[in-house]
Amino acid sequence: MRMLIDTHTHIYLPEFDSDRHEMMERALEKGIEKCFMPNIDLESIPAMLKMEEDFPGRAIAMMGLHPCSVKDDFLKVLNKMEKYIDSREWCGIGECGLDLYWDKTSLKNQMEALNIQLSWAKQMNKPIILHTREATDETIKMVELAQDGSLKGIFHCFGGTIEQANRIKDLGFHLGIGGVLTYKKSGLDAVLSQIGLDKVVLETDAPYLPPVPYRGKRNEPSYLFQVAQQLSEMFLLSIDEVARKTTLNAKEVFDF
């Protein structure tokens, strides 16, 4: 039976409060056996940990500060998160990175927060999950400067150029591909057709960015099947083969 891995999903958010167990059953029916959950801020931690408790081995938590949550008190927030990090084992650091879509004025703080979290990933020898909205080149450069051979992770929601994809691959990082692949004007098909699947992992970013034919609705892990289906058509592979390749890549990132 095929196994698909959702490497990036926020299924602990309130959007799933009304049908969380049913949603997880739908995911299992589609072969999605594990859902990796990046954190957002301090407020999101309790719900994320409750999700992990309710679905052991299937919903797996990470720790990090989203760039859109980097405010003036970010150092205090990161200090509190570091105490969480010291209290237990985590599968990765994130979601962190740079976001120049919403607020360019906080770039300096975002960069400092990212550097701190890159250092956590090095110290813990864990993958880092990177958010790069309208800041792909800037994020790549920071990772290039920090890379000492120990860093690995995922450039979440990759939507860049072939050149950017190759720089990411050269860093030993993976590309997170989700529902945007199914959008007609994304241009992702042209990029992926040239770089292949060797560094591709699947993700939903649920409840956001649902694939066709679910655009305008809440996204959920079961819809990862649509992304795998799109890749199977692009590369003329069976969905089982796409699942095999992308699951092996996810195992390389998260070491499970």
CA 39/CA 48 separation, integer angstroms: 7
Listed in sequence order, the DSSP H helices in the chain are 20-29, 45-54, 74-87, 107-124, 136-146, 162-170, 188-195, 224-235, 239-254
10-residue mean pLDDT profile of the chain (256 residues): values are 92 98 98 97 98 98 98 98 97 98 94 98 98 98 97 97 97 98 94 96 98 97 98 96 98 97
> Rounded mean pLDDT of the chain?
97
Share of the chain above pLDDT 90, in %: 98
Angle, in degrees to the nearest 10, between helices 136-146 and 107-124? 40
- Ordered by where they begin, the domains of the chain are 4-254 (3.20.20.140)
Task: Give per-residue pLDDT as tens, 7-50.
Answer: 999 999 999 999 999 999 999 999 999 999 999 999 999 999 99
pLDDT for the residue 2 = 82
How buried is 81 (Cβ within 10 angstroms: 0-12 exposed, 13-18 middle, 19+ buried)?
buried
